[in-house]
Structure 1
Amino acid sequence: MSPLTRNMWRDIRKSKGRFIAIILIIMLGVLIFVGVKAAGPSLNDSLNKTVADKNLSDIQVISTTGFSETDLKLARKVPGAQVEATKMKYVIGGKSKVAVALYGYDDDAKQNQLIMRSGRLPQKANEVVLDKNAKSKYSYKIGQTFKFANDSGLKQKNYKIVGFADSPQFIDNQSRGATNIADGQVQLFAYIPQSQLDMSVATMLNLHFNSLKDKNTFSDSYKDSVDKKLSILKRKFKDRDYQRTTEVTADYLKQFDQQQAQLDQLRAIDPQMASQQQVKLNEARTKALKKAKTTYTWQTREDLPGFSAYGESSDRIAAIANVFPVFFFLIAALITFTTITRMVEEARSEIGTFKAFGYTKWEISKNYYYYAISAGVIGAILGAVIGNESLPRIVLALYKQYIALDWVVGLQWWVILIALVFSLLATLGAAVIVIRKELVEGPAALMRPKSPKSAKKILLERIKPLWNHLSFNRKVSYRNLFRFKSRMFMTIIGIAGGTALILTGFGIQNSIGASGNRQYSEIFDYQAVVKLNDDANQTKVKNILQQDKQYKNSTAINSTTAKLKANGQQVNDVNVYTPNSLQQFKKYVHLKNNLQKQGVILSKKTAQLLNVKKGDQLRVTLTGGKKVSLKVGSITDNFIGHFLYLSPQVYQNKLGKVATSNTLLLHLSSQTSAQRKHLANRLLDSGEVMGTSYTHDVLDTVSKMSSSLKPIILIFVLLSGTLSFVVLYNLTNINVSERIRELSTIKVLGFYNNEVTMYIVRENIILTIFGIIVGYGVGNLLTAYILHQAATEQVIFPLTISWFGYLVATLLMIIFTAIVMLVTHNKLKHIDMIGALKSNE
């Protein structure tokens, strides 16, 4: 081993703390960079594996009148389509009389295979497999009986529970979709033998494409491919709804013709009875003909409960990964660069000595390069392995809201490579720059210590009244702050970066939660929406509402959906609200401007997507096909969903008719879950209401979305705090080692240990305070940028950081400063003053 190599190992042993600090800083930076970058893909890959293994359908079509063999033949004409027909309906069942999505089980079905959690699949006519939630939420057990309502249209009411399962169609454990029975929310799914459903035709078509099986279900490529397949399917079914309506109508009329013939015979015997029966028959015929109208609902995976939320969740993590870890890693790299620079500068005399002995520049340089490479590579490898293998698994394990997935955590090689390159730039790059700079000087100059920086007057000194009242120690501290500017900036950057990262963690979570809270406090001020039937008796509905203790008042509006186009852009599923009473409407929806004066008001996110502003024209296609052109009167704040508000006058002028009430917005006092369900059931039982939805359910969903990020935020806070501590500790050590002669001098002059410590720590306190303040600003900017990246087509996240976030960030920085102060104090008590003051000449 050459003297140079031995010297390098001696340096590592002498300054183990510094070498370990460099490794730790690099490791932390790489760990969070690689780990968070891998979390989003791991979430998607894990779900992709689950849905691929269970053959989740790519497209589902639901018909109000079922599918005939003709429909199946049309669906099979879509290239590559595997088509399966399923009997499916919404029914009421269980002890709690909840809405159940009931499917007919078929042994031969290949798509949407159940994931059995306990028990087995149904084999006999009287057996049922229930949603896993029936076990956890309603305490059902295998062997018990599950009872369906009398009007469920089944061969029997009671079924023996033989198993509990998850389904790839319901990946979110907390959401099973919406329906128009019970309280409007599906609580469970269930499977019974297909023959047990008293239905002559299937009501759902499932289409699966093997060519799409290996695609990422959340990728643009997959979505574009599915959209093309869906477009072909819709073309195949063009006018099919009219044809199917005709077919079903003919079937109904055959039945009624037979009944009419029997009634005509009865009329000859008992005219009065026949007359009464005729009225009933006419009513039944009218209802049946309404039922004969065929409507198709087209669904892709995005429309399944929980799928979009899951994809948006992984997108949010990806958005965080594009900013948060990069910022984190840049701070780590910057501090590492400074540390390596200081290390090489401290070794000037050794470099000069070796140069005097005749060693070449490369021979002297390479050992420092090896030192830098060793620290960089060890830190990068440790960070990459720990980050890639731990963070994605932690994230997956904490996503308890979703069904248990088959974990897929692949190595993100390109991310690891980027991290390694940056690690070497921070370590080896610093060594190369400083060594080249130092080796320019001759041996004699290098073996002498650098001349200390001359003191200069600082701005504070020019404020005489203030400067003259400061103690000697304080004057020295303030001068030293500006004397060592690079250290000052590095400390501020380290503290500000840590504070900003912690604030950003809290800010992301607070802001996601705030979207729902602000939507249903600042903008929407109602607790429920009641959707009325076309011919609803509003008086009857009002009577039911007034009998409810929690009911306060309501307002009627016309509610429909529309497709908006402008500037080549399009937004679907926009809620169009036209109030009956503008005065009443103000109490339920708080718009930025007066709807009466503006005529047309558009929500902010919708306007952004369409790239329109006040005064621009919108092309509106309403449900039913009616097309109108509207001028935007103003744009209003909105956080969730897309909304277009029309005054009654604009509605009448543009559509040529008065807006009819089909929706009620309700003011309700605080309700329990049971009370909400009771009111919804009573309204549905009246026959006047299609369904009731509660703002509580929306807020609950947003709250769960926010809560799902808590563990991730905790990881960010811990890692950010750790980085800040290591940075502060490392920079303080550098400061002490650089100024060891100065500190020894003041100690020889009679300063007490506490005074010597405060000589250094006072600077740290000032820099920490300043760093925290700067961190507040950076944290807000960083959070705002991430929220902008994480926003979806439906949701805007308003920048919100709670006082608790500021408190935690501030306290952590103060605690870290205090710990470093104690460690430094202990170190300074044992300074070798004589050794430090020896001349280097």
Structure 2
Amino acid sequence: MKKAFNKDIAGQIRYNPRRFLAILSIVALGVAFYSGVRATSPNMRLTVDRYFDRFNASDIQLLSTMGFETQDIESIRQLKQVESVQPGYSADGFVLKNDSTLLLSFQSLDTERLKSRPDALLNRPELLSGRYPEAPDECLADVQLNELYGFNLDETITLQSNNDSDIKDSLKLLEYKIVGFVRSVQYISLQRGNSSKGEGTLNGFVMIPEQNFKMEVFTQAYIKSKDAESSRFSDTYQKSVDRLADSIEETGSKRNPERFTKIRSEAEQKLSDGRQKLADAEEQLAEGEKELTEGEQKLKDGEKELAANRKKYNTEIANGEKKLKDAEKELIKAKTELEKNQKELEQNKERLEQAEAELENTYKQLEQGRQELAALKSQIDLMEQTNQPAEQIDQLQALYEQTKARLDDGQRQYDQGIHELAAAKAELQKGETELKKGWDKYFAGKAEYEKNLTAFNKSKSEGAKKLDEAQNELASSKRKLEDARRKFEEEKPDALEKIEKAKKELKDGEKKLADLKEPEWIALDLQSNIGFASYRQDADRIAAIGLVFPLIFFLVAALVSLTTMTRMVEDDRTVIGVLKALGYSRFDIAMRYLVYSGLAAAIGIAIGILAGAAVFPRVIFDAYGILYDLPPILTPIHADSSLQAGMGAFFCAVVPSLAVCFKELTSTPASLMRPRAPKMGRRILLERLTVVWKRLNFSQKVTCRNLFRYKKRLLMTVFGIAGCTALVFTGFGLRDSITLMVPLQYDEIQKYDMAVNLRETAEKQDIDELKELLSADKSVKASIGFYQKGIELEKGKNKNDANLIVADNRDDFKKFVAFRDRRSGRPIELTDSGVVITEKVAKLLKIKAGDTVTLLVPDKPDVEVKVTALTENYVFHYIYMTQTLYNRLYGEEAAPNSVFGQLADTDKDTQSNLSKALIKLDYVSSVSFNTSLRKDFNDMVKAMDIVVVVLILSAAALAFIVLFSLTTINIDERRRELATLKVLGFYDNETALYLYRENTLITLIGIAAGLLLGVGLLSYVITTAEVDMVMFARRTHWSNYILSSLITLSFAAIVNLIMYRTINRIDMVESMKSVE
């Protein structure tokens, strides 16, 4: 008998698989969603905790306004709470990649410790590819540089030092070879922090061997606490870190006076050196001016001297040329005279020779005449002897006498000619001698002339050469002087500018020295790390969603499970009576349902816990992968949420069946084996509305009667559908609330595109200069200066941080920030009678318009002020007041220290160029653009959007299972009724429509109730899921109502189509006699 009973229990599952699977599915889905979503936030925290433990993340990053000396590090190391201290260096530098300039943080890496004791290295980088550095010029690069900017292993990173002298002063090498890509616990988000250079935002980090840094002091120190052993997200951990931070700051307060004295002394020495250098520079400039003036005077003197020498040279050359010409003329004259004399001498010689020839001829004639005379005498003698006639002799004698006379006359002439010839020869000889002397003198004169001419030409050439050389030297000196003058004039403005800059630097240095304060140690815990803080907020946001959404989800699933088992027990009323009549105990009969529901619940719980732990945390964590750079999420099964979900599901599945079963077991077997009496028909409210009722046909009237005839079924179904609709609507509404937040904040409320913050040392002329620069820049449409300060707001025991903004010109300020009431959209006026605060901070402080709030401003007295209005705002907290009110509260004017700007074009290049130009200004501390803030929030919204989609899909799946289960129950418990309709001649379609009308009407009622419930649930979820610094939008698009309704109606239609076959397969005979 027991064996048959056990078979019957097993047969329950076999004969009712659909109900069994429905319970299993609804339990599995409810448990999976509840345990999975609730486990996501703890898993996110656990993943980061283990990740930080694995790579020895520091608990505190210590910064100082003046760096750290070795003694500072040692004093920190002596603290009892400190486990280890790791000092380090860092410097920001520019790197060029694919025509883009990237700003990277270069950080020191203790390669020796990394090799010898890697576990002791704080913030040890996680090597993703490549190897660790082995040489000074090797580095580890941020994996983001590989994924986003295309850097590869073995590629060289070259620092740009043209306009960045700081990096040359900080690092020994400017080129590093990438040997590995790493991930760091310091950067778990994709943001890499801010910088005072470039656009103000870092693009990545690079780790280089620490021996590459030239710095004399450490720029930072990482500290590990001994006491911080609990989760980094816990209050216990935070308290222990806060205690350590207090101890460190106390140590700093002891070390800082000594360091301050040393730094002040060094600063005074540097100022003294600077003054000396300035005096030297001014003296050098004056000396240069003096040297140029002296050079110009020397040049003028040289030109005068050259002119005088050239004049003297020209005079001497002219005189020399004149003398030479005179000498040449004399030579020519002498030569002419000599040649004339020579010619005359030669003519005389010719005449002399001619005369001598004539004399010779005369002599010959004389000799011939003597011979003739002798012959004539001989003839005369002979004639005398021969006694020639005397007449003849006389004739001959006369002839002889005549001839002799003539001969004597000729002899006399000849002798005279001889004498004259001798005289002429003597004269000729004399002439020749004189001529020779003349020629000798001429040739001597000519030789002297030529010698003088050669000497003159040489002297002239040398003189001209010397003059030319002097001219060239003078020209060269002039060019050099002109070059020197030009160079001096070119360099003079720079020199004057440098001198002025040096004077300004000296003045600033003297001012800084006068304003110099003791060094301050700033202990930054993990909450100050932008990545960790954002991650914690996201984990808290998921935890907040996990508080409410899964609970409603689980309640709906539990309700359906409860309904299913309740219906099952009620349907088995006859079977219970038979078993009781056969002698089975109450416990045995109860076990029949306990095993059925318990097994379905147990399997569903097991599947739900395993699926929930594996699916939901991974899906949600992967959604945040666009924001964070972390290892895969850890997915342990959490006993608390799993136990809560399991016990709740088991309770909802088992306890109702046992309660109904024991209720039925109180009746006798005979009464149990008889069918339960049908419920008495009653008039419904609609029947009393005659105008409406009489216009309904028979089918519609039956539908209305049936709805209110089974009130419990109606309420259960309506509540189940309402719950699913509310969940779907809440999912869509949450999605809208998150996605609308960004455009509302940055398009409608904060209408500026850029915010420029000035340093504390900035003066009024700096803000005026900045406004002039922005006004002259064509990319800036408008700008406005204002004062802002981080303060605390206090109301009773409540305190909250906020950003105080003081508007100089309230009318102009409205063009940059809109003040309006969120509910009515009515503009809000900023008046002198009080302050305007943002809605979220007012809610946190429990303030309404008309109340007062206390302002806690650093270095100023606490003042209480009236809140005139609450303005719409979604990101961060602000308090606005006028300049007049500030003056009245604090007795001084709030000097502008920030500027809002509206850009003509918000493209990346415009922002980049503008940011680079502004960040170079000494008095500008940071430049931010709403586009980057918008991007950050959009990334967060995308992650949340995926989470919301998961919620919507899960709610939709629950809606389908709920509708399927409730419809199945409805058909099973009304099987006889549907069979009766078939017997009465209803066609299949008519029978189905008979049921579909009820289902559709109940679905519509459930949708309407669900939308009302969804509005309240959405408001609660939004309020719960918000973090302190953010307010989600309170707007829901009308399409959400339609989408939520259509999804539920779609599932209802799908379920109806699935059940159509079940309705058609109802056996009329078997169903009609089922009671028997």
1:58 aligns to what? 59
Counterparts of 1:263 and 1:723, CA distance in 2: 81
Deviation of the 1:34 alpha carbon: 0.9
Counterparts of 1:839 and 1:113, CA distance in 2: 74
Q: Which has the higher helix share?
A: 2
Contact map agreement 2:734 2:1018 (CA 8 A) in 1: yes
Counterparts of 2:621 and 2:283, CA distance in 1: 75
Counterparts of 1:287 and 1:50, CA distance in 2: 47
Deviation of the 1:581 alpha carbon: 0.8
CA RMSD of aligned residues (A): 2.5
Code of the aligned partner of 1:37 = R
Deviation of the 1:50 alpha carbon: 0.9
Pairing partner for 1:421 from 647, 656, 667: 647
2:187 aligns to what? 170
Deviation sequence 1:224-261 (CA, Å, 0-9, x none): 22112112222222275565444223213324434545
2:102 aligns to what? 98
Contact map agreement 2:617 2:633 (CA 8 A) in 1: no
2:864 equivalent to 1:630: yes
Deviation sequence 1:46-89 (CA, Å, 0-9, x none): 00011111122111122232112332233234322122211113
2:840 aligns to what? 605
Deviation of the 1:738 alpha carbon: 1.5
2:811 equivalent to 1:586: no
2:45 aligns to what? 44
Counterparts of 1:144 and 1:389, CA distance in 2: 40
Counterparts of 1:29 and 1:163, CA distance in 2: 46
2:197 aligns to what? 181
Change (3 A) 1:553 1:823: same
Counterparts of 1:569 and 1:475, CA distance in 2: 60
1:353-368 pair list within 5 angstroms: 353-368=578-593
Q: Among the aligned pairs, what percent are the same residue?
A: 31
More deviation in 147-156 or 338-347? 147-156
Change (3 A) 1:179 1:823: same
1:215 aligns to what? 230
Change (3 A) 1:266 1:716: closer
1:241-390 pair list within 5 angstroms: 243-258=258-273, 260-261=275-276, 281-288=502-509, 290=512, 294-390=519-615
Pairing partner for 1:113 from 124, 127, 142: 124
Contact map agreement 1:615 1:631 (CA 8 A) in 2: no
Deviation of the 1:635 alpha carbon: 4.2
Code of the aligned partner of 1:100 = L
Which structure 1 segments of 5+ residues have no match? none
2:149 equivalent to 1:138: yes
Change (3 A) 1:180 1:632: farther
TM-score normalised by structure 2 residue count: 0.74
Contact map agreement 2:786 2:896 (CA 8 A) in 1: yes
Contact map agreement 2:842 2:870 (CA 8 A) in 1: no
Pairing partner for 2:1068 from 829, 833, 840: 833
Change (3 A) 1:729 1:611: closer
1:226 aligns to what? 241
SS in 2 for 1:339: helix
SS in 1 for 2:611: helix
SS in 2 for 1:122: coil
2:374 aligns to what? none
Counterparts of 1:840 and 1:551, CA distance in 2: 85
Change (3 A) 1:252 1:456: same
Change (3 A) 1:550 1:755: farther
Counterparts of 2:534 and 2:274, CA distance in 1: 51
2:26 equivalent to 1:25: yes
1:404 aligns to what? 630
Counterparts of 2:970 and 2:273, CA distance in 1: 101
Change (3 A) 1:560 1:365: closer
Contact map agreement 2:803 2:878 (CA 8 A) in 1: yes
2:753 equivalent to 1:527: yes
Counterparts of 1:398 and 1:773, CA distance in 2: 32
Deviation sequence 1:343-400 (CA, Å, 0-9, x none): 1111111111222223332232222222222122121112112112332233333331
Pairing partner for 1:751 from 986, 1005, 1025: 986
Contact map agreement 1:128 1:159 (CA 8 A) in 2: yes
2:791 equivalent to 1:562: yes
Deviation of the 1:203 alpha carbon: 0.9
More deviation in 255-264 or 510-519? 255-264
Deviation sequence 1:130-164 (CA, Å, 0-9, x none): 21111121111122222223122322332222222
Counterparts of 1:273 and 1:596, CA distance in 2: 62
More deviation in 144-153 or 38-47? 144-153
More deviation in 330-339 or 685-694? 685-694
Change (3 A) 1:88 1:262: closer
Contact map agreement 2:976 2:1074 (CA 8 A) in 1: no
SS in 2 for 1:667: strand
Deviation of the 1:704 alpha carbon: 1.2
Deviation of the 1:315 alpha carbon: 0.8
More deviation in 749-758 or 643-652? 643-652
SS in 2 for 1:658: coil
Change (3 A) 1:63 1:591: same
Deviation of the 1:507 alpha carbon: 2.5
Contact map agreement 1:617 1:629 (CA 8 A) in 2: no
Deviation of the 1:611 alpha carbon: 4.2
Deviation sequence 1:304-354 (CA, Å, 0-9, x none): 121111001111111111111111111111111111111111111111122
More deviation in 692-701 or 541-550? 541-550
Change (3 A) 1:415 1:149: same
Deviation sequence 1:606-649 (CA, Å, 0-9, x none): 334344455555443434x2233131333423322122222111
SS in 2 for 1:627: coil
1:615-626 pair list within 5 angstroms: 618-623=853-858, 625-626=859-860
Contact map agreement 2:560 2:720 (CA 8 A) in 1: yes
Deviation of the 1:488 alpha carbon: 1.2
1:158 aligns to what? 175
Contact map agreement 1:527 1:694 (CA 8 A) in 2: yes
TM-score normalised by structure 1 residue count: 0.94
Contact map agreement 2:232 2:238 (CA 8 A) in 1: yes
Counterparts of 2:945 and 2:804, CA distance in 1: 35
Pairing partner for 1:87 from 83, 89, 95: 89
Counterparts of 1:328 and 1:266, CA distance in 2: 80
Change (3 A) 1:20 1:560: same
SS in 2 for 1:596: coil
Change (3 A) 1:767 1:253: same
Counterparts of 1:270 and 1:489, CA distance in 2: 98
Pairing partner for 1:658 from 893, 911, 918: 893
Code of the aligned partner of 2:806 = T
More deviation in 239-248 or 669-678? 239-248
2:875 equivalent to 1:640: yes
Pairing partner for 2:676 from 450, 457, 460: 450
Change (3 A) 1:555 1:263: closer
Contact map agreement 2:278 2:502 (CA 8 A) in 1: no
SS in 1 for 2:530: coil
Contact map agreement 2:581 2:669 (CA 8 A) in 1: yes
Counterparts of 2:718 and 2:208, CA distance in 1: 66
Change (3 A) 1:98 1:545: farther
More deviation in 632-641 or 158-167? 632-641
Code of the aligned partner of 1:200 = E
Contact map agreement 1:56 1:113 (CA 8 A) in 2: yes
Counterparts of 1:614 and 1:755, CA distance in 2: 62
Larger radius of gyration: 2
Deviation sequence 1:256-310 (CA, Å, 0-9, x none): 4345456667888875679968655433334445387645443111111211110
Change (3 A) 1:565 1:74: farther
2:737 aligns to what? 511
Pairing partner for 1:765 from 987, 994, 1000: 1000
Counterparts of 2:730 and 2:1003, CA distance in 1: 18
